[in-house]
Structure 1
Amino acid sequence: MKLLLLLLAGLLCTMQVFADDLDEFNLDDLIEEDFDESAEELLRQFEQKNSNKDLERENEIAAQLAAEAIDQQNHILNPVVEIDPCEKMHCGAGRVCQVHGTEAKCVCIPECPEEPEARRHVCTNRNETWLSDCAVYRQRCLCATNAPGCLNPENSHVHIDYYGPCHEHKTCSEEDMKDFPRRMRDWLFNVMRDLAERDELTEHYMQMELEAETNMTRRWANAAVWKWCDLDGDTDRSVSRHELFPIRAPLVSLEQCIAPFLESCDSNKDHRITLIEWGACLELDETDLNERCDDIHRSTPQLLG
């Protein structure tokens, strides 16, 4: 009987392999009153051994899944990102960034899209109509770098006067020019006030506008300083002719004196307008002009409108 019980234990341990053979046995007939404690202990040991193996396997699977989850989480939190050398490269109008090997370099725009519509045309300070602003900026770049395609070396300083085909300018009379600085001061203050009411000024300039509202001696000076700072896009403490475009373009077709007025601001003809020059052409006292620019980067420049 003991031998039969041992054989039964062996069959139970390998029941998955010999399942068909085990079906032929009736355990109720085999396990009778002669099933002693030693045989029961032997079966218990076999069961415990198989249970331990199953537990070890489950632990291995669980550890593997946990490791894979950690790897996936690390990949999400610390992804491998390829850095584009051109991502932080600012090339300016008329130029694009190109990568040569591992080095990023600004080059002139290879070509500009065709703009058949007249409303896309632009008029330059040379009273020449170009098909698009892109064409003007590209031409400036080509001439500034002495590249093939430059039509005239002087085009390195060409800039856009206004959008649309060139038209005949009205003559700015002496009387109009004499009164223009006053009208310009009032206009700058009204624009500054309008932007403040729409909450489109930085906190720094909001304070300047509030001061201008409550202190008449600061009204025109603060407006003049604000607009000069706003035009100084590269914060080099001077305004170039190119940086004057946002104030010149929308007015040139409405105000025949805006072009000669801005030309007069560049008193030393160096193509830059300092704050002192700006105040002088607006007929403001130099002592009222304090450089109070907000150096906080503005992602969207405030245009006159």
Structure 2
Amino acid sequence: MNPVQIRATVDLYPGSRPSPGGGVHRPEAPADPCDNFPCKRGKTCKLDADKKPGCVCQEPADCPHSANQFDNVCGTNNKTYDTSCELFATKCNLEGTKRGHRLHMDYTGPCKFIPQCVETELVQFPLRMRDWLKNVLLQLFEHDSMSPGFLTPKQRFRVKKIFESERRLHAGDHSVELLAQDFEKNYNMYIYPVHWQFAQLDQHPSDRILSHSELAPLRVPLVPMEHCTSRFFQECDADKDKQVSFKEWTSCFGIKNDDMDVNLLF
């Protein structure tokens, strides 16, 4: 909706006057105070009695219906919601209750059976995750070489070293044993990818702490493919404060304390 709307009828309004060209000048409709008024997911803008904008919980029934199953999401209560809008509106209306506090988006798509993550699989998860992060950065480097803009100059400088290394393990379906050996032999190649992913997620706000909502862009798409995802990030939260700090993140991925470098986050 535009900030200023022009009434498009031919009727004259009180106070209308002829324009210099002989036509009719129609007064501009006042701007809607709710236009561009920010509300978090699950809430919508509404004017109070004094015509001041504020955020109130959206009704789940008012959310647009999904066109197909790709719009469905699974909540942490193992219930399939038609859209993410419906889930967050439901969560908002449960605000202040245990059910509302525990309800989050678990993963995209309808709810399905997710196998239990056992200890041996949990140990393997960071090996695959580190390798994946490294390869994502290498793909961005290649795209940036053809069409600049995918990486900043500082990021490009860091990734170039990994890209040009003759020792790097190329993308592929590698065994857990090989991934473990490569991490031990080429440890330095994995330091920056782990820092980079943290910085990509730490945006709202950038405070070196990842909230549940900040983790969601990485966690939500991974859960259906990697069933240890949720447990891995739960284990990362060592002090159980519902957030993952920079130190907890690097520790989860096997980065040594001496190699934690806040300068790599920028």
1:109 matched to 2:58? The reply is yes
The residue number in structure 2 matching 1:271 is 242
Q: How does 1:215-230 map to 2 (within 5 A)?
A: 217-230=187-200
Alpha-carbon offset, residue 153 of structure 1: 3.7
1:212–1:218 Cα contact (<8 Å) kept: no
Structure 2, unaligned stretches of length 5 or more?
Answer: 1-19, 21-27, 145-149, 166-185
Change (3 A) 1:196 1:93: farther
The residue number in structure 2 matching 1:138 is 89
1:285 matched to 2:256? The reply is yes
Alpha-carbon offset, residue 274 of structure 1: 0.8
SS state at 1:185 partner? helix
The residue number in structure 2 matching 1:244 is 215
Higher fraction of helix: 1
SS state at 1:267 partner? coil
- The sequence identity of aligned pairs, in percent, is 30
The residue number in structure 2 matching 1:16 is none
1:248-285 CA deviation, whole Å, 9 max, x = no partner?
22221111221211111111111111111001111110
Alpha-carbon offset, residue 211 of structure 1: 4.4
TM-score, normalisation: structure 2: 0.69
The residue number in structure 1 matching 2:104 is 159
Change (3 A) 1:82 1:252: same
Matched AA of 1:105: G
| Bigger radius of gyration among the two | 1
Alpha-carbon offset, residue 217 of structure 1: 4.9
Change (3 A) 1:129 1:287: same
- The 1-side partners of 2:134 and 2:68 are apart by 35
Q: How does 1:1-305 map to 2 (within 5 A)?
A: 85-87=33-35, 89-100=37-48, 101=50, 103-110=52-59, 111-115=62-66, 117-144=68-95, 146=96, 153-199=98-144, 200-213=150-163, 217-234=187-204, 235-291=206-262, 292-294=264-266
Structure 1, unaligned stretches of length 5 or more?
Answer: 1-67, 69-79, 147-151, 295-305
1:139–1:156 Cα contact (<8 Å) kept: no
SS state at 1:250 partner? helix
SS state at 2:222 partner? coil
Change (3 A) 1:92 1:195: farther
Change (3 A) 1:157 1:91: farther
2:76–2:102 Cα contact (<8 Å) kept: no
Considering only aligned residues, what root-mean-square deviation do their CA atoms show, in Å? 2.7
1:212–1:222 Cα contact (<8 Å) kept: no
1:218–1:288 Cα contact (<8 Å) kept: no
- The 1-side partners of 2:155 and 2:99 are apart by 38
Alpha-carbon offset, residue 82 of structure 1: 6.4
* Structure with greater contact order relative to length (CA < 8 Å, sep ≥ 6): 2
- The 1-side partners of 2:154 and 2:44 are apart by 34
- The 2-side partners of 1:242 and 1:95 are apart by 15
